[in-house]
Amino acid sequence: MRQLLDRLFQAAGRTPPLYRVIAVALLLALPAIFTGYLLDDHLQRLMALGTPTPLGLERAPWDLFTFFAQNPEQNRRYVEVLGAGPWWAEPTLHLSFGRPISSLLAWFDYAVAGWGSMMSHLHSLAWFAGCIAAAALLYRSLFGATAAAALALWCFALDDAHAMPIAWLANRNALVSALFGILAFAALVKHTRPEADGGGITPRGWALALAGFALGLAGGEVALACAAYFVAWIWFAAGGSLRTRLTGVAVWVAAVIAWRLIYKAAGFGTAGTGLYIDPGQDPLLFVGALLSHPPVLLLGQLLPLPAELWLFAPPAITLTWSALGWLAFALLALPLWRLVRGDRIAIALLVGALLATIPMAAGIPHDRMLLVPGLGFFGLLARLATRPEASPRLMRYIVVVHLILAAAALPLRAASQSAISAHIDAARDTLPEAATRPGNLLVTLHAIDMFQASYIAAWRLAEGLPAPERTVLAGIGLKTVTVTRRDDHTLLLQQQGGYLSQRFDWLARHPSNRFTLGEIHKLPGATLTVETLTADARPDRIALRLDLPIDDPHHLFVWAGLNGFVQVAPPAAGSSILIDVLP
């Protein structure tokens, strides 16, 4: 076993032609082309096609990442008139991301080229190849044509954490943003003056880095994480006087502030959601995220443990997970510092990788957020592992975890991304024909998540098919629901443990916006009232009162599970039925 590991390490350490690294990585990621359209892809297709619909999703080609505009009246219509959003959504819900380059690329796929999902996925793979090429340029600039550069590149190219940006078309923005950000970092490194010449960055280096950063930010917010490397490089590795370093850091701080002002002035941002944190709008919530999210990402980078599992864990587990991440950081901090002390490049990579997790804390921990932090992490590992005095244990760890296991997991994780949308596809394929008849009301008594019911209309309209005219989504979750008929117009719904028990359920409502007893929401053909609350002020029992009698033929009752929609007859007066969305 020892000899096998040593041979694999030596093979990885040789400097290979770039095309070989790209070819191997693309071959492993190739299953992504069969994942089809996932989640937001359905909405973006509809936006790009520009067909007027009742959903009001018409967008400019550069604005396909605005899902909820900052328009309370439009949001109210979307939820209360069409029923196409969850009834608990905040009227001020704002989910709008400024990614004009990535938006235009999606618009090109759907509206200009008219590509199907497979060609669009090949387009994403091309951007992944570009990221690998940019990383190769960076590592060559850092380490020269050495084993360290080759090893870092192999680890970056084969990292299975990249599976979602590769396989989810709407997440292509991460690849676009990272590519330009990595090129900006490479420009800083390549155009750093030798210490003998006073250190610092040349004017050409500044121009290229700022241009690359601007393009990266136009691709997506992931480029913000690259700014961590810019600051770390200037402060620890580029040399120059204290004044030069302070000025360099100030330039990048000013660049981020300028981006933020432009971003907000253009109407982009988030509000009223529990999944995306705007640090400028919710600084205290962001501080809390800094305490819990980065350590989860750290464990996700160190171990073959997907960070996104944190999202579905109960609170006690998430707290323990974050605590273990901090413990791992504390145990590694001193040994790492001893290893990097005196090595300015290694220090810059270490500090940059750690700081890169800060902007990533604004979202829910997920391996897809490791694209940029992993860049420095792998560079650091390669730098340390290829020293003459390197520990054989470090070599084995890299080979086993970041080459063998990662290479084996990448195709599996790329192919499995379709699972995140499988229940939506199942709902699409099992929608009863009667649901689209004029005048009918589709009542989804319960679904796994809000997307399962909400995306059906967008998908059908994008395909030129009729969509439900009116729909009501009563509740979401993974636990058993009891449905009881109170009278001829009213159904009582109660989920075991209460509603909105998972973090992901809070996408459309900020957790600080507490539910109240008697809270009423009017939907098309129905009214929902929160009758009882859990101890932490989540809905426990909901009364669904229909305008027409429950047994009216215009009502179609369903629930949505892993296998799609299941049509169900409402319970008889005074009796109950149970709904279990998980088989």
Domain-by-domain residue ranges, the chain? 2-37+116-191+203-230+256-418, 431-579
pLDDT level of residue 14 (50, 70, 90 thresholds):
low
Instruction: Note the maximum CA span of the chain.
Output: 88
Report the distance separating Cα 415 and Cα 352, nearest Å. 31
Q: Residue 423 has what pLDDT?
A: 85
Report the distance separating Cα 487 and Cα 543, nearest Å. 11
Per-range mean pLDDT, top range of 63-77, 97-111, 269-283, 506-520: 97-111
What tokens does 284 get? Answer: 């205290």
What mean pLDDT is predicted for residues 534-538?
93
What mean pLDDT is predicted for residues 316-333?
90
Q: Residue 1 has what pLDDT?
A: 46
Helix axes 100-107, 203-219, angle to 10 degrees: 50
pLDDT level of residue 582 (50, 70, 90 thresholds):
confident
Residue type, 368: R
What mean pLDDT is predicted for residues 463-488?
90
Q: Residue 521 has what pLDDT?
A: 93
On the 0-12 / 13-18 / 19+ scale of CB atoms within 10 A, 335 is exposed
Report the distance separating Cα 504 and Cα 491, nearest Å. 26
Residue 272 DSSP symbol = S
Q: Using DSSP, how many helices (H) and how many strands (E) does the chain show?
A: 21, 13
Q: Residue 9 has what pLDDT?
A: 53
Report the distance separating Cα 168 and Cα 214, nearest Å. 24
pTM to 2 decimal places? 0.91
Q: Any alpha helices (H) in 237-372, and if so which ranges? A: 242-265, 283-302, 315-340, 344-355, 357-360
What tokens does 361 get? Answer: 């804390």
Q: Do the beta carbons of residue 176 and residue 170 sit within 8 Å?
A: no
What tokens does 61 get? Answer: 């080609």
Report the distance separating Cα 562 and Cα 54, nearest Å. 28
Phi, psi for residue 473 in degrees, rounded to 5: -105, 110
Other CB atoms within a 10 A radius of the CB of residue 291 amount to 11
